[in-house]
Amino acid sequence: MESLEEKIKQAGDLKTLETVRIEIFGKKGVLAAEFAKMKEVPNAEKKAFAQKLNITKAKLTELFDTKKMMLEAEAIQEMMAKDGVDVSMYHGKPVSGALHPVVETMNRIIDYFVALNFSVEEGPLVEDDFHNFEALNLPKHHPARDMQDTFYLNDGMVLRTHTSPVQIRTMQKSKPPVRMISPGSVFRRDFDLTHTPMFHQVEGLMVDASGKISFANLKWILEDFLKYMFGDVKVRFRPSFFPFTEPSTEVDISCIFCKGEGCRVCSKTGWLEVLGSGMVDPNVFKAVGYEDVSGYAFGLGVERFAMLIHQIGDLRSLFEGDVRLLEQFR
Ligand code: DAH
């Protein structure tokens, strides 16, 4: 009896205690063997014998239950100490987060146009051929389709290569006049210093009754917008080609690094190309059933703006999530 109590007390962990339990309380254990001796005890002593044995069993059981509870509590403590968070490891200085430079630049662009009452429209990232190409005056097999390194999906759908399809969707769902921008991500099969497979654009579209919107309106708003974004810069409109505009123009600003003197960033030209635009091609209006209207459109790459504003050399670094870069924008 003494030695059994001792065995329970000595058990240092739950596994040892289980072995002890089987030894004492098991079917072939010490207590079972003691109870079996009843047969040989003379009848007159049977009662006293059984009583004594029951008391011993009760004592051992209580001792065992208490020990088990203690060991279980210890095991839980140990587990928590190992997995737990040490709340005493207080850092002292709370670190504040910040918007990603692309988001911040996009918000600034949106703010400008919202202040001029442009609506902000969104469209699907998985586009059909009609909205991404056809309605934008890019018929099948048109060579200009190669300008965009498209990701094609199995069912004839594409990952949109630009935000221009949102022009189409917006005109389809509303009557003129239209005054909208559409910010969002776009996708192209391209990867180098200045290209990533996913990037962001902001599209703009202004449409009203024929003759109401002219190239002069386009020129004014883009000049004003680019000065808002880049400060005191010169703005230049260069003839260009986009299937969805006629005439088309690419817009440059005087280099913000060398003030137009010519440097590495502007390839010694003194100018930086920042967006594409033009007067909406009549074929685009035809595709959405608009008649007797005129309008302008433009599209810009948000990363290009962010890189120029923050002097970031490698576009890919914007998407690597390296906190050492991101912390500089707090
Ligand atoms: N969608 C063109 C691109 O991704 C950008 C663009 C150019 C949009 C001229 C326009 C525009 O709306 O008028 O390269």
Residue 292: pLDDT over 90: yes
Q: Report the predicted TM-score, pTM, of the whole model to 2 decimal places.
A: 0.72
Going by pLDDT thresholds of 50, 70 and 90, the confidence category of residue 83 is: confident
**Helix count (H) and strand count (E) of the chain?**
11, 9
- Predicted local confidence at residue 287, as pLDDT: 97
Ligand 1 pocket check for 298: Cβ under 6 Å:
yes
Spell out the domains of the chain, with CATH numbers in brackets.
2-89 (no CATH), 101-329 (3.30.930.10)
C-alpha 126 to ligand 1 mean position (Å): 18
275 C-alpha to ligand 1 centroid (Å): 8
Sign, CA dihedral 153-161-135-183, equals: positive
Question: Residue 312 CB: number of other CB atoms within 10 A?
Answer: 16
**Centre of ligand 1 from the C-alpha of residue 160, in Å:** 13
Instruction: Indicate whether residue 249 lines ligand 1 (CB < 6 A).
Output: no
How much distance in Å is there from the Cα of 242 to the middle of ligand 1?
Answer: 7
Buried b (16+ CB within 10 A) or exposed e, 51-78: eeeeebeeebeebbeebbeebeeeeeee
Mean pLDDT of the chain: 93
Mutate to test the pocket of ligand 1, among 242, 275, 305 (most ligand atoms within 8 A of CB): 242
pLDDT given at position 264? 87
Taking the CA of residue 163 as reference, the ligand 1 atom at the shortest distance is 1
Q: Is 297 in the pocket of ligand 1 (CB under 6 A)?
A: yes
Question: From start to end of the chain, where are the E strands?
Answer: 119-120, 126-127, 158-159, 178-187, 198-209, 235-242, 245-254, 271-280, 293-301
Top mutation candidate among 109, 158, 298 for ligand 1, by most atoms within 8 Å of CB: 298
Q: 277 C-alpha vs ligand 1 centroid, how far in Å? A: 6
% of the chain exceeding 90 in pLDDT: 76
The predicted structure's pLDDT at residue 91: 73
Contacts of 71 (CB under 8 A, 6+ apart): 11, 13, 14, 17
CB 203 near ligand 1, within 6 Å: yes
- Which residue type does 265 have? V
Q: In which band, very low, low, confident or very high, does the pLDDT at 268 lie, cut at 50, 70 and 90?
A: very high
Of the ranges 25-39, 100-114, 238-252, which one carries the lowest mean pLDDT score?
Answer: 25-39
Residue with tokens 């389809």: 172
Distance CA 287, CA 86 (A): 64
Would residue 117 be called left, alpha or beta, if left means φ above 0 and alpha means ψ between -120 and 50 degrees?
A: left
Report pLDDT for 317. Answer: 87
In this structure, of 61-70, 143-152, 210-219, the range with the lowest mean pLDDT score is: 143-152
Percent of the chain with pLDDT over 70: 99
Burial environment of residue 164 by CB neighbours within 10 A (0 to 12, 13 to 18, 19 or more): buried
281 within ligand 1 shell (Cβ under 6 A): no
